[in-house]
Amino acid sequence: MALIAVKDLRKRFNLEAGFFAPFGRFVYAVNGVSFTIAENESYGLVGESGCGKTTTARLLVRMYESDGGKILYRDDTDVGALKVRELALYREKVKYVFQDPARSLNPRMSVYKVLSSGMRRSSRWKGHKEAREAAAAILSEVGLSASDLERRPAEFSGGQRQRISIARGLLMEPELLICDEVVSALDVSIQGQILKLLLDLRSRHRLSFLFIAHDLKVASYFCDRIGVMYRGEIMEEAPAAELHKKALHPYTKLLFSSVPGLSGSGGPPQKPLPALDGEVESSLAEEPGCAFAGRCPLAAELCRGARPETVEAAPGHLVRCFKV
């Protein structure tokens, strides 16, 4: 049984901002995304900035409302249909850790208030004494101490603030932790410490993860399976070890080739791919063909005129490409 099953998820945003902005021009951010996350599994969504990873993650906790598709929790609970109280209970089981703890942690609150503020409005609230004991215990688990509870977030380093963010998510004893680029702003040595912490927490609590990253090296280290996104679509999905050895989609090969020391044994495409530079161009219309056709050196007329279906190239290895 899947803990989370995402089926043909879609989201578009009105291109114009403001209350009086005209309605009718859209940015198509998520275009038919499907994947599953099993219990005690780490699933990675990888791609360049602007490819729809964070939007997909936020749809899972209904920070945004989807325009189509379904999110199923434990096979039979339609997340999009949950009422206010049911949604609150679901959000106790699926917690979100943001990229920048300096922005997501209230600088005016003590660490204890940061950790316990969400719990006070939850079904798990039993009073300050129990909450303080739980907060002290979870701080110890993430490598801080009970004496830090009365300090403020600004007194900590970036890596320590990220530990506080992780502790805030863990305090509710969730089943799924959504980690949105949680190590991308940290020094390499601190990244390794945070990833090791997350692996330890996963083993100790039997946690599942949705791990959002732009770095395939980091995702390959941490995740069991990886979905590679481009312009709101999953181009390729495979077990992390296999993706590293045999990347099939030209875009996945581009991502591997952009990481120093990590080329993947799938080999480079037949022609050089354009260098990674800046954000992915937004989709302002529903794609008639392959989303990657504009940058792919292998693209033919078929690729520009028809959308490739996802096929299983090997057991558990899915790819969306006419050329594979």
Q: What is the pLDDT of residues 252-290, one digit of tens each?
A: 998 888 766 555 544 444 444 454 444 566 676 677 899
The reported pLDDT for the residue numbered 270 is 41
**Can you identify the CATH homologous superfamily of domain 2-319?**
P-loop containing nucleotide triphosphate hydrolases (3.40.50.300)
Percentage of residues of the chain with pLDDT beyond 90: 69
Taking the domains of the chain in order of start, what are their residue ranges?
2-319
Count CB atoms within 10 A of the CB of residue 276. 15
Residue 239 burial by Cβ neighbours in a 10 Å radius (0-12, 13-18, 19+) = middle
pLDDT value, residue 23: 62
Q: What is the average pLDDT across 32-57?
A: 95
Residue with tokens 């009970």: 146
Confidence of residue 120 (pLDDT cuts 50, 70, 90): confident
Nearest residue to 51 via CA among 311, 210, 278, 298:
278
pLDDT at 162 over 90: yes
**More confident of the two residues 70 and 118:** 70
What tens digit of pLDDT does each residue of 75-103 get?
889 999 999 999 999 999 999 999 888 88
pTM of the predicted structure, to 2 decimals: 0.90
Q: In the predicted model, is pLDDT for residue 60 greater than 80?
A: yes
What local confidence, expressed as pLDDT, does residue 280 receive? 66
d(CA 241, CA 222): 11
Least confident of 6-20, 84-98, 246-260, 302-316: 6-20
pLDDT digits (tens, 9 = 90+) for 207-240: 999 999 998 989 999 999 999 999 999 999 999 9
Cβ of 321: how many Cβ atoms within 10 Å?
Answer: 23
Counting beta carbons within 10 angstroms of the beta carbon of residue 204, is it exposed (0 to 12), middle (13 to 18) or buried (19 or more)? exposed
Angstrom distances, CA of residue 78 to CA of 40, 45, 48, 81, 243: 21, 22, 29, 6, 31
Alpha-carbon gap, residue 160 to 101, rounded angstroms: 9
As a whole number, mean pLDDT of residues 56-80 equals: 96
**Which positions ≥6 away from 191 have C-beta within 8 Å?**
183, 218
CB-based burial of residue 320 (10 Å sphere; 0-12 exposed, 13-18 middle, 19+ buried)?
buried
pLDDT at 17: 63
Q: Is the pLDDT of residue 196 over 80?
A: yes
